[in-house]
Amino acid sequence: MLVDGRELEVPILPRMPGGPPVAGDDVRLVERGGQPRLEEILERRTLLSRGEFGSRNRARPLVANADMLLVVAAAVDPPFRPRLVDRYMVAAALGGLEPALAITKLDLVEDRAALDEQLAVYRDVGYPVEVGSTFDPGFVRRIRSLIGDRIAALAGHSGVGKSSLTQELTGVHRAVGEVSRKIGKGRHTTSDPRLIPMPGGGAVVDTAGVRMFHLPPMDAEDLGAGFPEIAAASRDCRFRGCRHAGEPGCAVVGRVHPDRLDSYLRLLDTV
């Protein structure tokens, strides 16, 4: 825990009200018998959560008070998965974080035009999109200025380069995974998310990579916030409550990208 800029070990009591704290939480500490004790979690400005495995009706908090969610995806290795990106965009909207997309491993890309076409979908929605290689200083600088003096949570599939990017941004070295060639699968190398300040202001929270991202419970309106272009177009649908699934007078079909609509309709089935 950071206390006045210094790293401090503070025991976390089980069953504390509103707890347990997550990365990014602001807390109130009191001194008890010469020891710091975590007394209270202060009100969270934003909260990135995911759905609890196994039970779809519980949210599990991941990162508190991040201003933005930097969804990190590799252009290749592991392959770009737009459905996963879309889910993160919904989670960002739900938690009050500003979403952005960072695409790594450009150095491994053979078909740049195909990549640009995929990314145009997100640029057209209005999300900031940066593309590059994690070890290219120009790319790191662009990400750095996108974050500015804000707090960014980095999330995405396992092995896309979140921890590498965190190192480049902060100068702080934590676990970076070698993708195991023997079994051909990435390992989960980052477990506990931690807030790490960047030199010159701002901070990043490196989170554990996933293969699947379950969304926390939400209603259709929450879901719509993760697809702002669909929400905007749907105001022109002939029928209120149009589900954009072939109804007459639908203004969404044909106006928004079919992949995004497909993503949306799939998620709509689950809320």
Ligand X SMILES: Nc1nc2c(ncn2[C@@H]2O[C@H](COP(=O)(O)OP(=O)(O)OP(=O)(O)O)[C@@H](O)[C@H]2O)c(=O)[nH]1
**Contact residues: Mg ion, CB under 5 A:** 162-163, 189-190
Task: Tell the smallest beta-carbon distance from residue 221 to ligand X (Å).
Answer: 31
Shortest distance (Å) from residue 179 CB to Mg ion = 11
- For ligand X, the nearest residue by Cβ is 209
Query: In the window 153-192, what residues touch ligand X (CB under 6 A)?
Result: 158-164, 176-179, 186, 188-190
Quick check: 256 binds Zn ion (CB under 5 A)?
Answer: no
- Answer yes or no whether residue 252 interacts with Zn ion by CB under 5 A: yes
User: Using H for helix, E for strand and C for coil, what is the string for the chain?
Assistant: CEECCEECCCCCCCCCCCCCCCECCCEEEEEECCEEEEEEECCCCCEEEEECCCCCCCEEEEEECCCEEEEEEECCCCCCCHHHHHHHHHHHHHHCCEEEEEEECHHHCCCHHHHHHHHHHHHHHCCCEEECCCCCHHHHHHHHHHHCCCEEEEECECCCCHHHHHHHHHCCCCCCCCCECCCCECCCCCCCCEEEECCCCCEEEECCCECCCCCCCCCHHHHHHCCHHHHHHHHHCCCCCCCCCCCCCCCCCCCCCHHHHHHHHHHHCCC
Q: Report the nearest approach of Mg ion to the CB of residue 189 (Å).
A: 5
* CB nearer Mg ion, residue 133 or residue 163: 163
* Residue 194 interacting with ligand X (CB under 6 A): no
In this chain, which of 24, 51, 95, 209 binds ligand X, going by CB under 6 A? 209
Which residue, 210 or 231, is less far from Zn ion as judged by CB?
231
Nearest residue (CB) to ligand X, 26 versus 107:
107
Segment lying near ligand X (by CB under 6 A), choices 8-16, 105-113, 217-225, 254-262: 105-113
Closer to Mg ion by Cβ: residue 174 or 257: 174
Picked from Zn ion, ligand X, Mg ion, none, the partner binding residue 107 (CB below 5 to 8 A depending on kind) is ligand X
Q: Which residues bind Zn ion (CB under 5 A)?
A: 237, 242, 244, 250, 252
